[in-house]
């Protein structure tokens, strides 16, 4: 992977930081973006001289444009974009406010869309590129009532990924769009949810950020379009929808 330039958003902690370390170990050049400058700089330092830290708020189109420009100025191109920014919510669907829904769409969908739209012209000019959108099992099965708007946002992200893939391949078949769907990951995701929440690190049967990062790193190489981070997840999704059709 020594000839690969990978741009990762949400890289200051959790899955993003673990992915940065994993890819650095495989020899990739990295552009790492996040809002928290000191934490981001620490991750970049641990990844070595081929890591560029770009302090940016990816909810801002202007910041995203600058992030892309600084990355291309340093490395000359981007080969793979990993959209890893996201946030959960703890609120029943009947209690959702306009602000709740807007926040979920901004953090989980628009951040990815902004980065894709800023990078796509460069990808098209080169005739190659790869976007990996980090989704969730809740983007496949909306079984967590209290995560209602987050489920909806991740479903939207999946649909956006699939439709972009179909659109772009008509004229630029060398550009790929991938979805990666983790389940519970042992990070501060739950604690950072809008309206608070359970610490994800206390939920049984989860994965470490490093385990998820290893799967995403493999997708950087394989360019597979639809990947789950643990065995049996695809069958679990099929069983979920099969059960919906059963008699009560």
Q: Which residues are known catalytic residues?
A: 150
E strands, the chain, where? 5-9, 29-34, 51-55, 80-83, 129-134, 175-181, 226-228
Nearest to 82 by CA among 95, 71, 90, 96: 71
Q: How far apart are CA 72 and CA 83, in angstroms?
A: 17
Backbone angles phi, psi at 226, to 5 degrees: -150, 110
Where helices occur in 106-232 by DSSP H, the ranges are 111-126, 148-169, 209-222
User: Measured between alpha carbons, how far is residue 66 from residues 33, 73, 151, 163, 190 in Å?
Assistant: 11, 10, 30, 26, 30
Tokens 């049996």 belong to residue: 232
Q: Is residue 169 within 8 Å of residue 175, measured between CB atoms?
A: yes
Rounded-to-integer distance, Cα 175 and Cα 106, Å: 25
């Amino acid at each position: 992977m020594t000839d690969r330039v990978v741009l990762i958003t949400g890289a200051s902690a959790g899955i993003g930081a673990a992915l940065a370390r994993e890819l650095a170990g495989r020899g990739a050049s990295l552009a790492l973006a996040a809002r928290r400058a000191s934490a981001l700089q620490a991750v970049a330092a641990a990844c070595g001289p081929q890591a560029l830290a770009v302090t940016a708020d990816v909810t801002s189109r202007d910041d995203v444009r600058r992030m892309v420009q600084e990355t291309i100025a340093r490395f000359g191109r981007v080969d793979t974009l990993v959209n890893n920014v996201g946030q959960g919510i703890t609120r029943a669907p009947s209690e959702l406010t306009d602000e709740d829904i807007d926040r979920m769409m901004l953090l989980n969908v628009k951040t990815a869309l902004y980065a894709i739209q800023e990078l796509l012209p460069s990808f098209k000019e080169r005739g190659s590129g790869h976007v990996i959108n980090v989704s969730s099992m809740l983007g496949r099965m909306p079984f967590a009532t209290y995560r209602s708007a987050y489920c909806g946002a991740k479903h939207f992200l999946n649909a956006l990924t699939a439709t972009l893939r179909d659109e772009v391949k008509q004229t630029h078949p060398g550009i790929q769009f991938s979805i990666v769907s983790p389940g519970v990951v042992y990070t501060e995701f739950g604690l950072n949810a809008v309206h608070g929440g359970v610490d994800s690190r206390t939920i049984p049967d989860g994965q470490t950020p490093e385990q998820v990062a290893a799967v995403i790193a493999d997708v950087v190489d394989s360019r597979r379009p639809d990947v789950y981070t643990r065995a049996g997840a695809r069958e679990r999704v099929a069983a979920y929808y099969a059960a919906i059709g059963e008699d009560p």
